[in-house]
Amino acid sequence: MHYNLLKLALAVAAVSPALAAWPYGPFSYTVPFAKGGGSASIAELQAPFIPGSKLVYNAANSGAAAWANMKNDPKDGSVVTLINLPHTMLQPIYPGFVANYTFDDIKIAYIHSYTPLALIVPSNSTIQTWADFVDACRTGNSSMIISGAAKGTVFDLATLRLKRLARLDVAYESAGDGANVAITALLQGKYRAAWTTTPAVFNRPDLRTLAIAAEFEFPQIDAPTFKELGINYVDGIYRGMGLPAGTPDNVMQVNLLIRIQRKCSPRTMYAETSHL
């Protein structure tokens, strides 16, 4: 396997990037959301190390819309779309959600990164710690509403899991599509708490992270893991690159060459994003 990838890498290196046509030349790397969220942060981290890539942000700021549009993309690899799991598996089967795509419409080139979930509040909130959050959930007159990005996403499931594991009276409500929309709604006071992923909270003094759903703590984020709080909860988003179903296998193999780029292999991307 490694030998075959090396042969493909050498073949690519022998072709002048300036003269090459796809699959060895430039391609569009579609980001389903606007800048400011976890997906955009990951793509922006990758882009400088992926030869020929051009980031294209989705003006609709909607993962479902971008993944549905993949059906219209050419099957020559000239357009690659960032995909999120479990979102692309959940949305097509989520009750009442019109995804306009199925999981079978997407062909996954590979999964390159994983980022844990983070439970956040505004930095000026009266809820300063996990203990404060628990007290607020147990003393309120109604369920604590936790917001997040869209329906049929990991954030939706996270609230159900937290309710069961921590035995708290919590409920989920979508603030709209995209992490930046959910964070904006939180800061506007529309919600008291929200889910996001670690890239979206890094270097954000206006946000306070109460807990991270990770195996290990993040030195750059001043917050405990749920495990440290006695709750066995680890969860997050897997991100990767997808192409429309029907894309030939040889095109997929060329896209796999991206994995040999130092900052885009699954292992290195985990190391790069583990602090985000």
Q: Domain boundaries in the chain?
A: 2-115+237-273, 116-236
Which H or E element spans position 218? none
Query: Which pLDDT score is estimated for 37?
Result: 80
Query: Which pLDDT score is estimated for 16?
Result: 37
Sign of CA dihedral 115, 163, 92, 63: negative
Is residue 224 reached through a cis peptide bond, with omega within 30 degrees of 0 on the bond before it?
A: no
Statement: residue 227 has pLDDT above 80: yes
The pLDDT tens digits of the residues spanning 130-158 come to 999 999 999 988 899 999 998 889 999 99
**Residue 164 binned pLDDT confidence (cut-offs 50, 70, 90):** very high
What is the Cα–Cα distance from 211 to 189, expressed in whole angstroms?
A: 20
Is 116-236 in the same CATH topology as 2-115+237-273? yes
- What does CATH list as the number for 2-115+237-273? 3.40.190.150
Span of 23-32, 57-66, 74-83 with lowest mean pLDDT: 23-32
Tell the CATH topology of 116-236: D-Maltodextrin-Binding Protein; domain 2 (3.40.190)
Tell me the sheet residues that pair with 115.
Answer: 237
* Maximum distance among all Cα pairs of the chain, rounded to whole angstroms: 67
Q: Which amino acid, 223? A: A
Q: Which amino acid, 155? A: F
Tell me the sheet residues that pair with 209.
Answer: 120
**Residue 111 binned pLDDT confidence (cut-offs 50, 70, 90):** confident
Crossing angle, helix 249-256 and helix 2-13, to 10 degrees?
90
Is residue 23 reached through a cis peptide bond, with omega within 30 degrees of 0 on the bond before it?
A: yes
Tokens representing 132 are: 């404060």
Q: Please state the separation of Cα 33 from the chain's center in Å.
A: 10
Q: How much is the pTM?
A: 0.81
